[in-house]
């Protein structure tokens, strides 16, 4: 079985298929997997996967959103990119680049970029 790419949703016929742990979406690591886990949980097909696991909780905490609200956003937006935009708005963040990208850009502009 092939895993879906970070920009594609989990296969419709197999909501238990999760994107890799290192997949990113909108500059946010773990978010594609978190979306897949949320969809699988709502479909009752998590199997032995834990949701929310400690990494899920950490990711949601950084986004400033709870698991129930995140699940509601994922359910309301079938597109793999919409929940991340909605989550950022819910957390009071602008819909611009992910925070770690913004820090890198500032370092490059100030000449303090790491080698």
Tens of pLDDT, residues 54-70 = 999 999 999 999 999 99
Nearest to 38 by CA among 92, 63, 27, 100: 63
Tens of pLDDT, residues 13-39 = 454 589 999 999 989 899 999 999 999
- State residue 104's pLDDT score: 59
More confident residue, 37 or 100: 37
Residue 89 CA from chain centroid, whole number? 14
Average pLDDT of the residues in 76-83: 68
- Crossing angle of helices 54-63 and 67-76, in 10° steps, is 80
Share of the chain above pLDDT 70, in %: 54
- Crossing angle of helices 31-43 and 54-63, in 10° steps, is 110
């Amino acid at each position: 079985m092939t895993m879906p790419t970070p920009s594609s949703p989990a296969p419709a016929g197999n909501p238990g298929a999760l994107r890799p742990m290192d997949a990113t979406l909108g500059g946010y690591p773990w978010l594609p997997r978190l979306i897949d886990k949320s969809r699988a949980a709502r479909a009752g097909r998590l199997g032995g996967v834990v949701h929310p696991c400690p990494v899920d909780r950490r990711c949601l905490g950084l986004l400033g959103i709870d698991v129930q609200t995140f699940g509601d956003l994922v359910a309301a937006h079938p597109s793999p990119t919409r929940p991340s935009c909605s989550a950022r708005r819910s957390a009071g963040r602008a819909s611009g680049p992910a925070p770690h990208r913004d820090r890198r850009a500032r370092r490059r502009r100030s000449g303090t970029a790491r080698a």
